[in-house]
A and B are shown apart, each in its own frame.
Chain A
Amino acid sequence: MLSRFWDLPLRKKISGIYILANVLVFIVNVFLIVGINGMSLEMDMVYQDNRQLNELSDALDDVQDSMTTYLNAKTSDSLEEFYRSDQAYSMLIQEMNTQITDMSYDRMERNIKYMSENYLLIVRQAIEAKRGRNVEKYRVRYESATDMYNYLSNYIIALNREQFAKNSENYNRLSKSFMTFEKISVIVLGAVIVGNVFIIISLVSRIIAPLGELATAADEVAGGNLDAELVKVSSKDEIGVVTNAFNKMVVNIREYIEKQRQSMEVERALKEKELMMETHLKDAQLKYLQAQINPHFLFNTLNAGAQLAMMEGADRTYEYVQTVADFFRYNVKKQDKPVTIGEEVNLVDNYIRILNVRFSGDIHYEKQVDERLLNVEMPSMILQPIVENSVNHGIREMGDKGMIRLKVYRDRDRVCIMIKDNGKGIGPEEIDRILRGKVVLSEDKKESNGIGLDNVIARIRLYTDDPEAVSITCEGEDLGVETIIRIPNTNTENENV
């Protein structure tokens, strides 16, 4: 039952304690009031005996007087009066005590009762005798009754005195008791109130204690210490519920943070790995490229070859070697800076020339260039890869029928460079894939200089900030591919030259 009390809701618990305290004070008060009431009643009753005796005395006088009056005058009024007083007196003495005790007033009361009965008997006899006109008899009875009356009156006075003494003593005792009772009442009430205060304080602090613990813990958690100790749940009230929730929350947060930490760890490891791989790859590629060419060595070698060819009078060989040397020099030199269209066109010329030597002049090369636009800037290594692509995929297998057309012209504020072949062409899907950069450079192409179309297109778009800077069209199978590059005209001052 007690455990159930602790599981009650907070409101009920606290109300319960207050109600309990109040009920206790109330009960104590009721007891005290009942006690005080009883005592004051008792005090009221102290002199009751005396009042009764006075009444008795008066009634006795009435009986005697009415008897005397009747015996004197024999009026019916006095007889009536006599019967009434006789009745009243009889009633009074009926209630009197007949016990014999140590107490003199008890014995006196008893004597008075019997004497009164006797007296009434004699009085009635006197009245009867008077009615019967028995003169002698009623006179004797009257005398006898008068004697008795005197005795009785005296006896009642004596008893009254005795009672008064006793009652005064009682009254003194009562009033002393009353005062004692008052003092004790105050003490008891005080004790109960102090007890109540103690109970309320102890119980309420017991109830509130978990809240304090919870607050401390919450504070600690708020301060960032998630490892704070969990709060003990000691009751099933609101505090218990909140404490439970708090504990769960803390545990959940801890778990969540742990999970987060773990996943971040994994991600970080993955990224690290990836980065490492990339770095390694780049490193490898670089090393590879470095290993491939030492440009000075290559140029010197090629120059040496060119001079040898000139000395021997092999003009064509000289020219070829010179072309190759130029081609590679360009490759090495012009990579991170914008170049002019003229330089790019020159590279394409060299490339075609080299290919024609290699493939015995199979490729027809047609060039239509607006000379004014040769100084316009553009990214390097753009045109050659496109031409290379056209040669490799378009006209390689066509023998001496293959043709490459290069055209540089102006289209409003743009400079257009068109490269067109008459090869087998490609499908629209392929064009789409190329434009979306899905065609990746294949490493096994030995003929390539290492730069794929995707790279070219991406660089042109970056340079021009225009996704439409490159367009590829093919009008059908065996109708060749036309690639047009539009770059902004940076050479506007030369326009009118």
Chain B
Amino acid sequence: MENDLNKKIYNRTLLLTVALLMVTLIVIVIFYQFYIKGFNQTDKGKEYDKYYVMITDNRKSSFMQAVYKGAFDTGQEESIYVDMLGDSLPSDYTVNDLFKIAISSQVDGIIVEADESEEMTRLINEAVDEGIPVVTLLNDNTKSSRCSFVGVGGYNIGREYGGQVIEIINEKRTAQEMGNDDTLNVAVLVNSNNQTSGQNIIVSALQETVEQRLGSSSDTEINVVAVDNTNTFSVEESVRDIFMNQDIPDIIVALDELTTTCVYQAIVDYNIVGKVTILGYYNSDTIVNAINRDVVYSTIFIDTAQLGEYCVEALKEYNELGATSQYFTADVMLINKSNVSMYMTKEEENAE
């Protein structure tokens, strides 16, 4: 009996040691599997079915970034990767170059901030011929066979601007700052090489609105001032040129984000805050802050996320059905002193 017990103890010791060693080995194997093998898999990203690219001249602007983010987020849900083409390339390529790259890369869809140039038309058509649907963003190329245009409804924006101009006139009259006979100078800053229709529509809508309300013989003079945007830094220079003149307009309407920022900075620099009223474009942090500080009178809020979303959805629909709506228009809202706080908090929330 005792012998058996002894043997049992012995066996238990032996079993224990064997078990201990087995455990050690298993731990090693597991460690090996997870630690070493796992290392190769860490790089694998999520895979996508489709590959869309967005091509624009001013990728760095927060406006385009916001649009891109909207498109990207929408794509994520649909297993589509939306790339901002040119972000990772060392050279700064033009839209046309990037477009060529996109075509030869055989992407599944192109979102392009187009213009009305013939070269653009040719490229869009080439892409469509290759079976790549093209969506124009913000600026259309109407002659091409692009499948869809996604914009902000220039007419609406123009009307908003018109409304603002009238409001400013009324305010000034009430404040006795200007007499009934005084002429109010309104300068609308338009990109000089702008062969796109977008800004033109805004300008015409603006003019139309003001004329409708005040009559054609109004004391409001609306001038279209061309801002040279052909070179990299020419916008800023052109804007400064305006202030070098003796005739500084009373109201400056800026039709894109960069111009708005430049004008804002210029009137701060020239110390004419209060003399010149700025109607801005887009709700970047800088612009929203400027409204809060009464430097910018109002700005147009554009639902950038919606813009991006529309782009992706248009392409997707075209891919799936072979056809889609010709036009998509994103929502537009006015931001001024009265509702700026709401946008500021929104921005902060977004930042978080």
A161 to chain B, nearest CB (A): 7
Q: Is B17 an interface residue (CB 8 A)?
A: yes
Select the residue from B7, B13, B14, B51 with max chain A CB neighbours within 10 A: B14
A36 to chain B, nearest CB (A): 9
* Choice from B10, B11, B104 contacting A114 with Cβ under 8 Å: B104
Q: Is B46 an interface residue (CB 8 A)?
A: yes
**A206–B13 CA distance with the chains assembled, in angstroms:** 9
With A24-B21, A101-B46 given, is the CB distance from A107 to B81 under 8 Å? yes
With A114-B106, A154-B91 given, is the CB distance from A35 to B32 under 8 Å? yes
- B12's closest neighbor in chain A, by CB? A2
B88 to chain A, nearest CB (A): 5
- A45's closest neighbor in chain B, by CB? B40
Chain A positions 144-161 with a Cβ under 8 Å from a chain B Cβ: 147-148, 151, 154-155, 157-159, 161
Contact with A along B187-207 (1 / 0, CB 8 A): 000000000000000000000
Q: Which residues of A contact B88 (CB under 8 A)?
A: 104, 108, 158-159, 162
Q: Which residues of B contact A119 (CB under 8 A)?
A: 104
Q: Is A361 an interface residue (CB 8 A)?
A: no
Q: Is B20 an interface residue (CB 8 A)?
A: yes
Q: Is B39 an interface residue (CB 8 A)?
A: yes
Contact check, A35 vs B6: say whether CB atoms are below 8 A apart: no
Contact check, A110 vs B105: say whether CB atoms are below 8 A apart: yes
Contact check, A151 vs B100: say whether CB atoms are below 8 A apart: yes
Select the residue from A111, A158, A184, A191 with max chain B CB neighbours within 10 A: A111
A345 to chain B, nearest CB (A): 90
Q: Is B2 an interface residue (CB 8 A)?
A: yes
Q: Is B3 an interface residue (CB 8 A)?
A: yes
With A42-B39, A107-B81, A154-B90 given, is the CB distance from A31 to B29 under 8 Å? yes
Contact check, B14 vs A5: say whether CB atoms are below 8 A apart: yes
Chain B positions 69-88 with a Cβ under 8 Å from a chain A Cβ: 81, 83, 88
Contact check, B89 vs A155: say whether CB atoms are below 8 A apart: yes
Q: Is A242 an interface residue (CB 8 A)?
A: no
Chain B positions 12-49 with a Cβ under 8 Å from a chain A Cβ: 13-15, 17, 20-21, 24-25, 27-29, 31-32, 35-36, 39-40, 43-49
Contact check, A111 vs B101: say whether CB atoms are below 8 A apart: yes
With A38-B36, A107-B83, A206-B13 given, is the CB distance from A233 to B3 under 8 Å? yes
Contact check, A102 vs B81: say whether CB atoms are below 8 A apart: yes
- B107's closest neighbor in chain A, by CB? A111
- B24's closest neighbor in chain A, by CB? A192
Q: Which residues of B contact A24 (CB under 8 A)?
A: 21, 24-25
A48 to chain B, nearest CB (A): 13
**A327–B28 CA distance with the chains assembled, in angstroms:** 122
Q: Is B50 an interface residue (CB 8 A)?
A: yes
With A27-B25, A158-B90 given, is the CB distance from A2 to B104 under 8 Å? no
Q: Is B97 an interface residue (CB 8 A)?
A: yes
Chain A positions 88-111 with a Cβ under 8 Å from a chain B Cβ: 99-104, 106-108, 110-111
Select the residue from A147, A166, A234 with max chain B CB neighbours within 10 A: A234
Secondary structure type dominating chain B contacts: helix
Q: Which residues of B contact A32 (CB under 8 A)?
A: 28
- A115's closest neighbor in chain B, by CB? B104
Number of interface residues of B (CB under 8 A): 46
Contact with B along A156-190 (1 / 0, CB 8 A): 01110110001000100110010001001000100
* Choice from B7, B43, B49 contacting A234 with Cβ under 8 Å: B7
**A34–B105 CA distance with the chains assembled, in angstroms:** 41
**A347–B108 CA distance with the chains assembled, in angstroms:** 167
Contact with A along B92-105 (1 / 0, CB 8 A): 01000100110011
A140 to chain B, nearest CB (A): 13
Stretch at the interface among A195-203, A419-427, A455-463: A195-203
Q: Which residues of B contact A198 (CB under 8 A)?
A: 17
- B32's closest neighbor in chain A, by CB? A35
* Choice from A31, A147, A151, A177 contacting B28 with Cβ under 8 Å: A31
* Choice from B13, B27, B83 contacting A203 with Cβ under 8 Å: B13
Chain A positions 37-60 with a Cβ under 8 Å from a chain B Cβ: 38-39, 42
**A79–B45 CA distance with the chains assembled, in angstroms:** 42
B22 to chain A, nearest CB (A): 10
Contact check, B81 vs A203: say whether CB atoms are below 8 A apart: no
Contact check, B6 vs A232: say whether CB atoms are below 8 A apart: yes
Q: Is A328 an interface residue (CB 8 A)?
A: no
* Choice from A35, A115, A191 contacting B36 with Cβ under 8 Å: A35
Contact check, A115 vs B14: say whether CB atoms are below 8 A apart: no
- A21's closest neighbor in chain B, by CB? B21
A169 to chain B, nearest CB (A): 10
With A28-B24, A106-B45, A155-B89 given, is the CB distance from A234 to B6 under 8 Å? yes
B35 to chain A, nearest CB (A): 7
Contact check, A232 vs B3: say whether CB atoms are below 8 A apart: yes
* Choice from B25, B27, B83, B90 contacting A161 with Cβ under 8 Å: B90
With A110-B51, A155-B89, A158-B88 given, is the CB distance from A101 to B32 under 8 Å? no
B109 to chain A, nearest CB (A): 12
Q: Which residues of A contact B89 (CB under 8 A)?
A: 154-155, 158
Q: Which residues of A contact B81 (CB under 8 A)?
A: 100-102, 107
A28 to chain B, nearest CB (A): 6
Contact check, B50 vs A100: say whether CB atoms are below 8 A apart: yes
Q: Is A3 an interface residue (CB 8 A)?
A: yes
* Choice from A34, A38, A107, A203 contacting B51 with Cβ under 8 Å: A107
**A198–B21 CA distance with the chains assembled, in angstroms:** 12
Contact check, B20 vs A103: say whether CB atoms are below 8 A apart: no
- B108's closest neighbor in chain A, by CB? A100
**A199–B14 CA distance with the chains assembled, in angstroms:** 8
**A99–B81 CA distance with the chains assembled, in angstroms:** 11
A195 to chain B, nearest CB (A): 6
Select the residue from B81, B101, B107 with max chain A CB neighbours within 10 A: B101
* Choice from A100, A148, A157, A232 contacting B104 with Cβ under 8 Å: A148
Q: Which residues of A contact B13 (CB under 8 A)?
A: 202-203, 206
Chain B positions 259-308 with a Cβ under 8 Å from a chain A Cβ: none
**A103–B46 CA distance with the chains assembled, in angstroms:** 8
**A148–B100 CA distance with the chains assembled, in angstroms:** 8
Q: Which residues of B contact A83 (CB under 8 A)?
A: none
**A83–B46 CA distance with the chains assembled, in angstroms:** 38
**A28–B17 CA distance with the chains assembled, in angstroms:** 16
With A35-B32, A158-B89, A162-B88 given, is the CB distance from A101 to B47 under 8 Å? yes
**A104–B97 CA distance with the chains assembled, in angstroms:** 20
Contact check, B17 vs A203: say whether CB atoms are below 8 A apart: yes
Chain B positions 98-145 with a Cβ under 8 Å from a chain A Cβ: 100-101, 104-107
What residues make up the interface of A, taking CB atoms closer than 8 Å to B?
A: 2-3, 5-6, 24, 27-28, 31-32, 34-35, 38-39, 42, 99-104, 106-108, 110-111, 114-115, 118-119, 147-148, 151, 154-155, 157-159, 161-162, 166, 170, 173-174, 177, 181, 184, 188, 191-192, 195, 198-199, 202-203, 206, 232-234
Q: Which 3 residue pairs are nearest across A and B when measured between Cβ atoms?
A: A102-B45, A101-B45, A118-B104
Q: Enumerate 19 A-B pairs (CB-CB under 8 Å) in ascending A order.
A: A6-B7, A27-B25, A34-B32, A100-B47, A101-B46, A104-B83, A107-B81, A108-B88, A110-B51, A118-B104, A118-B105, A148-B104, A157-B90, A173-B39, A177-B39, A191-B24, A192-B21, A203-B17, A206-B13
Given A103-B45, A234-B3, 11 other A-B residues pairs in contact with their CB atoms under 8 A: A5-B14, A28-B28, A100-B47, A100-B48, A100-B49, A111-B105, A111-B107, A155-B101, A181-B35, A188-B28, A203-B14
